[in-house]
């Protein structure tokens, strides 16, 4: 029914559309709209309203009212001045006012100020008859203050003469549609922005980005970075697959990526190598995920070129795991590999061996020929070492002049495994013994090798290294240039050494040490004595230095021990100075390298002399050649400083060390002590005899005194005497004895 009425009303608009002349004279001025339109309309309106009552028959009137009120569209009658004459229920609902509250009000009161102009042009066009109807969208202010969108269709009702009566407005509530439209527009704007953003991100990304169809792998899109990185043009890429382009250096990586995508829908940080168009391979870090694009599952991949990082990583790895001088794996790598070898041996139930190799006289070469030659020697040693081992063996430089070789797959524990290892070790020994020609100089070195086996028990890596090291020390102690196997007995010895160290510390605190004195004789009279250390062990009796000196040196305990010796010897000197037949006897004190290298060694010696009141001229310090090569200049400075106070220096064990004239000449020495070994052998062995003879002439050339130690027989004494050496120390005269016995032993002091 109301449909019918709407139709008719629209028809009405058309019918009345032609009549317009009556309002032609209405003058509208935009600037003063209210005054002109409103006054004219007011005149008209007053005349028109009563005319409504003259409308058709009663029946028609009822139908009209019903359709007016029940219409699903808002209907509004407005006077030509804009006053609301009549409105239906629907309109009232749209604006939220009951009809009686708005009838009589100007429709502009329902219009937000900024929208008020929008209807004016339409109204004028209608009034002037230019348009039969006008349709536009606008907003109303509802009673609750909210704005609501409506679509207006306005026409003018005229009387039979065509005189405008009132505006008839159809008001459609389009708030919901507007809202949806606004949302859609906002969404579209956002989409545009984000699309633009994505497009930019896609294109501008420094990482290479590509999009492939999941089902066949075809490239759909790729960015600039992708093209730059791979060297292809976009045309060469799009429509083809990574397989077509042979992009994956290893296609198994592609499978790995696909597997991950299948499993998780994404794949993060896959490191793989890729091939460029020109065949060059580079490292890439790839992340990919499956996305849906217009209903089609695609793979979006982002790849970063990490070739530089890989190179740096390799470099760092190299620095961390290799020795830069010899280019062999370093200690860290050795430990790492050893751990793997242990696991592998256990798994395969097969023996493996660790060879610990130490150069026998590297220090001498390094100190006498210089570090440059030393470095070259180490390089040559590592070259020979590599040549002696199989390609599967692991050769490393542990540090300094220490090397290690891991031999794996030696089979079941057996004599064969041991002899296989021994075979390699012997080969190494033989190769190292060959002369070296380095920087146009000849040098020679040998190595000592310690071997231990692993893989059967639950071996600990550092324990294996310790065992090989221990065996190597055993080789050194034996004679150098040999191989020694680690044996459990060695372990026991090592444990005992640990205990001994503890005891030694305690002994120093408890002052369990004694000094014995061994006379030094010249032409039949006692001129001096060497102070020799003894440990009065609480359970083991008197211990000789051989039992503890090397341990004291290794642990650094030699420093406090040496201080104690020096102090005791000086007290002894002061004590003897009070006996006429002892007052001119000098005391020789052994000084170890560590003690000598203390920064305040000179001050310590002088302070001890002062404290004890000993005569510095009767104190002789025995130093060894090995101490000298370490730092010749420093040694000379220390010696000179002490010599200005009258302290003398004797070079102990002479002939066993490097014996280079070049530095001997520069040392402010007072005495050379011919080593026991020459004295022992010289009578029977012509070489030793010749050396002893040479030492005598050397001492004469250097203008230093000479003393032979370890003189046990009269034959030796007279032999030395004939050579020109007249000072002796040895069992022939007396072993080291305690001070009381020494006093008694002295000629003229016998009871």
Interacting residues toward ligand C2E by CB under 6 A: 518, 532-533, 544-546, 549, 562, 565, 590, 592, 652-653, 676, 709-712, 729-731, 736
Q: Is the dihedral of CA 686, 689, 691, 694 positive or negative?
A: negative
519 interacts with, out of ligand C2E, Ca ion, none, CB within 5 to 8 A per kind? none
**Residue 589 C-beta: closest distance to Ca ion, Å:** 9
State the residue for tokens 């300094």: 400
Distances (CA, A) of 132 to 7, 76, 167, 702: 15, 17, 11, 139
CB 505 within 8 A of CB 710: no
Rule CB under 5 A: say whether 652 interacts with Ca ion. Answer: yes
Residue with tokens 């102690």, as numbered in its chain: 477
Nearer to Ca ion, 155 or 586 (CB): 586
Give the nearest distance from C-beta 310 to ligand C2E in angstroms.
55
Structure tokens at 712: 């046990």
335, two tokens: 């430990």
Measured CA to CA, the distance from residue 258 to residue 42 in angstroms comes to 81
Count, residues near Ca ion per rule CB under 5 A = 4
Give 110 or 708: the residue with its C-beta nearer to ligand C2E. 708
Residues 571-630 that bind Ca ion (CB under 5 A): 590, 622
Strand partners, 273: 283
Which entry of ligand C2E, Ca ion, none binds 532, CB below 5 to 8 A by partner kind?
ligand C2E
Cβ 614 to Ca ion shortest distance, Å: 19
> Whose Cβ is closer to ligand C2E: residue 172's or residue 729's?
729
Nearest to Ca ion of 408, 675 (CB atom): 675
Q: Is 230 in the site for Ca ion (CB under 5 A)?
A: no
Can you tell me the distance from the alpha carbon of 552 to that of 529, in angstroms, rounded to the nearest whole number? Answer: 23
- Could you tell which of Ca ion, ligand C2E, none binds residue 518, using a CB distance below 5 to 8 A set by kind? ligand C2E
In angstroms, what is the minimal distance from the CB of 709 to Ca ion? 5
329 SS3 class: strand
Q: Rounded to 5 degrees, what are φ and ψ at 288?
A: -145, 150
Surface-to-core class of residue 383, CB atoms within 10 Å of its CB (0-12 exposed, 13-18 middle, 19+ buried): middle
Shortest distance (Å) from residue 409 CB to Ca ion: 48
| 592 contact, one of Ca ion, ligand C2E, none, CB 5-8 Å limit per kind | ligand C2E
CB 478 to ligand C2E: min, Å: 19
Interactions with Ca ion, residue window 326-365 (CB under 5 A) = none
The tokens describing 124, both together, are 């004028």
Q: Which range of residues in 299-307, 325-333, 607-615, 651-659 is near Ca ion by CB under 5 A?
A: 651-659
Cross-strand pairs, 138: 150
Q: What is the smallest separation between the CB atom of 733 and ligand C2E, expressed in angstroms? A: 8
Give the SS3 label for residue 111. coil
Alpha carbon distance 577, 565 (integer Å): 18
CB 648 within 8 A of CB 621: yes
What minimum distance in Å lies between the beta carbon of 712 and ligand C2E?
4
**Residue 736 partner contact from Ca ion, ligand C2E, none using kind-dependent CB cut-offs of 5 to 8 Å:** ligand C2E
- Name which of 736 and 739 has its Cβ closer to ligand C2E: 736
**Beta carbon nearer to ligand C2E, 153 or 518:** 518
Min separation Cβ 592 and ligand C2E, Å: 4
Query: Quick one: 358 or 653, whose CB is closer to Ca ion?
Result: 653
- Which is nearest to 587 in space by CA: 375, 736, 696? 736
Structure tokens at 653: 């064990």
For residue 660, give both structure tokens.
């280079």
SS3 167: strand
401: contact with Ca ion by CB under 5 A: no
Nearest approach in angstroms of CB 406 to ligand C2E is 37
Cβ atoms 289, 257 nearer than 8 A: no
* CB nearer Ca ion, residue 398 or residue 588: 588
Q: State yes or no: residue 653 binds Ca ion (CB under 5 A).
A: yes
Q: Closer CB to ligand C2E, residue 151 or residue 593? A: 593
Closer to ligand C2E by CB, 407 or 711: give it. Answer: 711
Distance CA 54, CA 621 (A): 148
Q: Footprint of Ca ion on this chain (CB under 5 A)?
A: 590, 622, 652-653
């Amino acid at each position: 029914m109301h449909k019918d009425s709407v139709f008719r009303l629209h028809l009405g608009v058309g019918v009345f559309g032609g009549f317009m002349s009556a309002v032609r004279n209405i003058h509208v001025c935009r600037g003063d709209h209210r005054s002109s339109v409103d006054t004219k309309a007011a005149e008209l309106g007053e005349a028109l309203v009563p005319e409504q009552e003259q409308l058709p028959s009663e029946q028609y009137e009822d139908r009209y009212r019903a359709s007016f009120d029940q219409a699903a569209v808002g209907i509004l009658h407005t006077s030509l001045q804009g006053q609301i004459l009549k409105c239906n229920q629907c309109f009232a609902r749209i604006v939220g006012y009951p009809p009686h509250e708005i009838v009589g009000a100007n429709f502009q009161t329902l219009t937000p100020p900024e929208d008020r102009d929008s209807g004016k042009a339409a109204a004028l066009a209608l009034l002037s008859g230019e348009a039969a109807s006008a349709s536009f969208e606008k907003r109303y202010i509802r009673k609750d203050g909210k704005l609501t969108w409506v679509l207006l269709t306005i026409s003018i009702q005229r009387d039979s003469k065509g005189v405008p009566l009132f505006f008839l407005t159809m008001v459609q509530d389009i708030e919901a549609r507007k809202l949806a439209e606004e949302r859609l527009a906002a969404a579209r704007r956002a989409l545009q922005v984000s699309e633009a953003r994505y497009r930019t991100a896609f294109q501008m990304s420094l990482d290479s980005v590509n999009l492939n169809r999941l089902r066949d792998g075809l490239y759909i899109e790729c960015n600039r970075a992708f093209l730059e990185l791979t060297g292809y043009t976009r045309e060469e890429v799009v429509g083809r697959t990574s397989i077509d382009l042979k992009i994956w250096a290893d296609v198994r990586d592609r499978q790995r990526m696909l597997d991950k995508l299948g499993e998780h829908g994404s794949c993060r940080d896959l490191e793989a190598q890729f091939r460029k168009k020109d065949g060059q391979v580079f490292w890439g870090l790839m992340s990919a995920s499956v996305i849906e694009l217009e209903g089609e599952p695609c793979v979006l991949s982002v790849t970063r070129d990490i070739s530089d990082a890989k190179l740096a990583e390799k470099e760092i790895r190299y620095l961390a795991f290799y020795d830069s001088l010899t280019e062999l794996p370093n200690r860290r790598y050795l430990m790492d590999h050893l751990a793997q070898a242990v696991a592998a041996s256990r798994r395969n139930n097969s023996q493996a061996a660790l060879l610990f190799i130490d150069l026998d006289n590297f220090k001498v070469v390094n100190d006498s020929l210089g570090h440059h030659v030393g470095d070259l020697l180490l390089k040559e040693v590592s070259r020979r070492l590599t040549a002696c081992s199989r390609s599967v063996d692991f050769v490393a430089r542990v540090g300094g002049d220490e090397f290690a070789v891991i031999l794996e797959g030696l089979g079941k524990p057996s004599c064969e495994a041991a002899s296989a290892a021994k075979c390699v070790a012997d080969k190494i020994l033989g190769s190292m013994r060959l002369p070296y020609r380095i920087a146009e100089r000849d040098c020679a070195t040998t190595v000592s090798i310690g071997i231990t086996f692993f893989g059967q028990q639950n071996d600990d890596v550092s324990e294996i290294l310790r065992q090989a090291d221990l065996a190597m020390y055993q080789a050194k102690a034996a004679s150098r240039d040999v191989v020694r196997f680690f044996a459990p007995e060695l372990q026991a010895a090592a444990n005992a050494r640990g205990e001994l160290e503890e005891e030694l510390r305690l002994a120093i605190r408890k002052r369990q040490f004694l000094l014995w004195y061994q006379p030094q004789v010249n032409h039949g009279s006692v001129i001096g004595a060497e102070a020799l250390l003894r440990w009065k062990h609480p359970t083991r009796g008197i211990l000789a230095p051989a039992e503890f000196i090397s341990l004291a040196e290794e642990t650094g305990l030699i420093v406090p021990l040496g201080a104690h010796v020096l102090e005791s010897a000086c007290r002894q000197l002061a004590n003897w100075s009070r006996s006429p037949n002892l007052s001119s006897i000098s005391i020789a004190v052994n000084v170890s390298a560590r003690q000598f290298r203390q920064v305040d060694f000179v001050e310590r010696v002088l302070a001890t002399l002062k404290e004890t009141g000993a005569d510095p001229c009767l104190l002789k310090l025995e130093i060894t050649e090995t101490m000298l090569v370490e730092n010749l200049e420093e040694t000379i400075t220390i010696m000179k400083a002490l010599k200005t106070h009258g302290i003398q220096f004797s070079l102990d064990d002479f002939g066993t060390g490097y014996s280079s004239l070049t530095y001997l000449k520069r040392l402010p020495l007072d005495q050379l002590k011919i080593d026991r070994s020459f004295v022992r052998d010289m009578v029977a062995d012509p070489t030793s005899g010749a050396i002893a003879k040479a030492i005598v002439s050397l001492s004469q050339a250097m203008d230093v005194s000479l003393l032979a130690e370890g003189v046990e027989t009269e034959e030796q004494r007279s032999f030395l005497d004939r050579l020109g050496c007249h000072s002796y120390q040895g069992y022939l005269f007396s072993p080291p004895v305690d001070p009381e016995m020494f006093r008694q032993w002295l000629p003229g002091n016998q009871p």
